Each structure stands twice: as C-alpha cells, then as structure tokens.
C-alpha cells in the first residue's frame, strides 16, 4: 500500500461522470470508492417516482461501468433495498467505517462539491464525527466555480444574468468574432418568443429509451419502498447511461435545435416536449458534459444546420443561466432558502399534487409533471410558478415542490430559480422584477385558453381567469413593496384606473379563489 492512510472517495448520485476517479485522484491500492442509495434523498421532500428511479438506475449503471473500466476496482455500493441500509449518508459512512475498516485506517473523505447545502453539511458533520478530514473538490463539469462567481459578484449592486453571460462568452471565446458577439448582438431572445400557429413545423417525436433489466429492477424497488410517492413510472424513457445520453444529445442537435429558439416559449395542449432539448436530467446527473452540448450546438451553427437565434438561445441556457443560477446558490448561502421578500403566507394548493383543476393551463402543465416529471421553462415560470407567485404561496413550499416533482430537480437548480426568478422572494437578487401577468400572456403563447371555462379578459366574476384576477390582486397587495421597482413602474397607472368598486370586487374574487383552493373545491361554483 502507498504511504499515507486510506481515503474514501464518495461518488454522489448527480456526479456520474466517467472522469470522476481522475478528479478525485484515485490510487487503486490505497483508496476505497463508495456509492450510497439512501431513502433520505427521496423523502426529505416528496420525490416523483420517475425522479427517484432515474437517479437510482443511472447510479447502478454507472457503478457497473466504473468497475468494468477500472481493473480490480470494487465499488462499495449500498442499494436502497439492502436490509441494513441506514437511509442517510451519515449513517452509511458510519456503517462503512465500522464494518469495513477501522476508523484509524481511513483519515479522509474525498468528494466533489454536492448539489445541495444540506448534503454538504451532512457529509461534513459525519466526517467530523469519524475523525476524518473532508477533502472537498470543485466540480470540473461546470465552466465556473463558486469562487469565480464570487469574484464576479463582489462589489455589484445587482447580479444581472446578461452581464455575467457576456463575460463568460468573452472568457471562453464562445460565439465571439474578433472580440464582438457573433452576428452583432449578445442576445437573440426577441426572436425566440413565437407561439405555435397552424403553419408551424411538425414537432419531432421524443426519443425514449426502453427500460432495461436494471431499470426495471429499480422500478420495483421504488414502487415497493415509496408506494405513496407522487408521479408515475408508466412513461419513463429518460437516458440512464452515458451512451443513451449522447444519443439524446445527437437527437436534439439533429431534430430539435433548428426550431428550438423560435418556439422555446410556446405551449400546446398534449405536447409536453416540443423542440426542447430534454437534456437537463442527463446534464445534472453528469452523463454528458455541458461543453459537449455547447460544442455540438456551435458545430451545427458553423455547418449552417441551425440558425443563430436557436444556437445562442441554447448556449445562453447552459453557459449563461445554468452557471449563473449555480453561482447564486453558493454565493447566497444556506439561508437563501428562507427568503420571503413578499411575505407570502398561502399554503401550496392541493392541485399541485393532484393536477385536478378546471384551469386548462394548470391542468396541462401539472398533468405532464405527474406523468413525466417534466415541464419546460415557460410552464414552470409562467404557469405553475406564476400562479404560486400571484396566489402568494410560501416560497419554500414551492421550491420543495419543484425539487421533488421534476426529474432534473437538484437544489442548486430549483431553489434559486424558484426563490429568485419565479417568486421574487429574494427581493431582486436573481430577477430584476416579479414576472406577474394576466391570463392574456398564457393565451398568447398557447392554445390552453380555448379549452378553458375561464376568460383571460375578465378580472372579476365567476368566469374571470384566476390568473387575471390574481394579477391585479397581487399588484394591489404588493404595491408598497414593489412601487419603487423601475422595471414595472408603468403598471401603477393601470392600477390607479381601477375604481374602488372594482378593486373591492377583485379582492373578493381573489379571496374566494384562495378559499376554494384551500378547501379543495372547484373554482367554478355550482
């Protein structure tokens, strides 16, 4: 054995990159490698069955691949249904130390930075209890580190995505020509807001992967261990290996990227996938590297196989938004989860768990979440998120719902997106304004409203769209907190045009919506 005590290299479920042993400086005759499936990760928030199954299947495939690729490597793997599984990372570290090696033989726990403050705190506490040093490595899958973000953020009054994004474009030389942005503009978002009309291109079918024996075994474990968990496994077809993830990336670049930009904000009944990449689960698990996705899109642009607005929009999601959100998460610290700038105090309605509602936009968006564990960014921001914002739902409840109900849910992703972008609960750290809107926005970007009993043009009365009622109620309730926001200064003139009678009618209708939701009653009377 080489000089020095042994180290335990712990690989977490969202770190399934083929290069991880190199990143952790694995020494075969000295180090042990472990992976733990623990119930705590599927129960600290209610987790969609497909989310849990995706993590477990990908982990099991990855552990087997590691052993195949590294001679004499034996991964100490604890499965969820192992009889003695303690159910937590701390418990499994203690069991490992007690059962496999005297505590004095191992002196270091080596791990890449986890995707959640809670997990990091748990690992640090467990290592300390065992008398081990923790060697926390930065995750090379990302373009930037938390320290990089802190260096950028320090001294800035506002953390604006656009400025961060431009600096990363310059730093990495992506879509740059002689120091200027390719095409002359940094951002082509204005070209990426088309609704789906009758003459829109044909939507390509989703690439779905048939569950293999490993995945089917995981299904049985998930169903037996978490029978009351939300969601379904019936339509599960997510990539669970690197080979499948690369195939999914190629499929997106070939069939979806050309129209991705133009229609990325659009919504249509019965069409959950549209032209979106569906790559976030594989990216967040580590099955593909974000550079592979960005480089693939750039190659398509260089070959004239995809337009600039699509490629730039995709690059902005990965190099811009994904890196920015993770930077905010670590920069703001663990107490960011408790921000509630707008003092929202409404409980998350039961419709988020059942999908049972007359609002067609919510029924469609919630229904596909329960069926597939998926919804694209506009459905998250401007349907399910918008409703929670204007209803005034407690931010942590909404963030936990997004974390648990989406297959790509990891805390560094969902928390700042929810607390910052969706709910404006951080007071403007992530978003420069709350994204409040009436039902007219949803009507413009979808075909939902044609199948709905509510009218986006009405803000009072039983037929008024709840989004429209709650929009005006939100502005009236939050005026003292938001009136100084320069991004929405124009809206107060519209609020002032409402006479006292209509303001009262809006407030009464909003109260009735909350009461019916709280009681689990239909929003339409009778």
- Give DSSP secondary structure letters for 208-275: -----HHHHHHHHHHHHH-TT-SS-STT-----SHHHHHHHHHHIIIIIHHHHTTTTT---TT-S-TT
pLDDT at 236: 98
pLDDT at 105: 82
pLDDT at 102: 58
- Beta-strand ranges (E) seen in 472-511 are none
Q: Are 447 and 269 in contact (CB under 8 A)?
A: yes
pLDDT at 158: 85
What's the CA gap between 193 and 210, in Å, rounded? 33
pLDDT at 3: 52
**Confidence (pTM):** 0.96
List the strands of the sheet with 6-10, edge to edge.
Answer: 75-78, 32-36, 6-10, 106-112, 133-137
pLDDT at 525: 66
pLDDT at 2: 47
DSSP SS3 for 179: coil
Structure tokens at 326: 């993770």
What's the CA gap between 318 and 328, in Å, rounded? 15
- Beta-strand ranges (E) seen in 87-165 are 106-112, 133-137
pLDDT at 1: 40
- Cβ burial of 132 (10 Å; 0-12, 13-18, 19+) is buried
Token pair 């052993």: residue: 67
What's the CA gap between 245 and 238, in Å, rounded? 9
Give the DSSP letter string of 316-357: IIIIIIIHHHHHHHHHH-GGGGG--TT---BPPPTHHHH---
**In which residue ranges of the chain is pLDDT below 70?**
1-4, 101-104, 525-526
Nearest to 312 by CA among 459, 453, 418, 176: 176
Measured in degrees and rounded to the nearest 5, phi and psi for residue 393 equal: -80, 145
């Amino acid at each position: 054995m080489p000089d020095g005590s042994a180290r335990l290299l712990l690989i977490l479920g969202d770190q399934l990159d083929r290069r991880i042993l190199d990143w952790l400086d694995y020494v075969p005759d000295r180090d042990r490698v472990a992976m733990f499936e623990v119930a705590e990760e599927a129960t600290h928030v209610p987790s969609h069955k497909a989310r849990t199954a995706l993590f477990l299947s990908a982990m099991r495939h990855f552990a087997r691949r590691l052993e195949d690729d590294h001679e004499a490597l034996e991964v100490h793997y604890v499965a969820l249904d192992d009889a003695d599984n303690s159910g937590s990372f701390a418990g499994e570290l203690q069991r490992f130390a007690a059962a496999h090696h005297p505590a004095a033989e191992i002196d270091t726990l080596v791990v890449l930075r986890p995707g959640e403050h809670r997990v990091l705190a748990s690992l640090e506490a467990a290592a300390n209890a065992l008398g081990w040093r923790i060697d926390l490595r930065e995750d090379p899958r990302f373009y930037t580190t938390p320290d990089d973000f802190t260096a950028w953020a320090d001294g800035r009054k506002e953390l604006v995505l656009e400025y961060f994004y431009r600096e990363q474009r310059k730093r990495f030389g992506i879509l740059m020509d002689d120091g200027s942005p390719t095409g002359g503009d940094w951002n082509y978002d204005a070209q990426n807001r088309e609704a789906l009309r009758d003459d829109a291109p044909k939507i390509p079918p989703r690439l779905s992967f048939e569950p293999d024996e490993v995945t089917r075994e995981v299904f049985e474990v998930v169903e037996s261990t978490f029978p009351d968990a939300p969601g379904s496994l019936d339509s599960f077809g997510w990539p669970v290996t690197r080979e499948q993830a690369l195939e999914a990336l190629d499929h997106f670049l070939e069939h979806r990227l050309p129209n991705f930009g133009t229609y990325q904000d659009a919504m249509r009944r019965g069409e959950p996938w549209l032209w979106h990449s569906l790559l976030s689960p594989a990216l967040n698990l580590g099955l593909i590297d974000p550079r592979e996705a960005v480089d693939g899109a750039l190659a398509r642009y260089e070959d004239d196989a995809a337009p600039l607005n699509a490629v730039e929009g995709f690059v902005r999601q990965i190099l811009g938004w994904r890196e920015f959100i993770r930077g905010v998460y670590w920069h703001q610290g663990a107490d960011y989860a408790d921000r509630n700038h707008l003092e929202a105090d409404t409980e998350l309605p039961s419709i988020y768990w059942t999908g049972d509602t007359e609002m067609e936009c919510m029924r469609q968006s919630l229904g596909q979440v329960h069926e597939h564990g998926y919804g694209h960014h506009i459905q998250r921001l401007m349907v399910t998120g918008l409703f929670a914002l204007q209803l005034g739902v407690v931010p942590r409840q909404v963030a936990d719902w997004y974390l648990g109900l989406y297959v790509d849910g990891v805390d560094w992703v969902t928390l700042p997106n929810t607390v910052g972008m969706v709910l404006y609960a951080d007071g403007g750290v992530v978003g420069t304004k709350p994204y409040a809107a009436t039902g007219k926005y949803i009507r413009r970007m979808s075909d939902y409203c044609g199948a709905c009993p509510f009218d986006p043009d009405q803000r009072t009365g039983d037929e008024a769209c709840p989004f429209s009622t709650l929009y005006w109620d939100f502005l009236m309730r939050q005026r003292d907190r938001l009136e100084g926001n320069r991004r929405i200064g124009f809206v107060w003139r519209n609020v002032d045009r409402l006479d006292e009678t209509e303001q009262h009618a809006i407030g009464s209708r909003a109260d009735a919506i909350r009461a019916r939701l709280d009681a689990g009653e239909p929003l339409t009377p009778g």
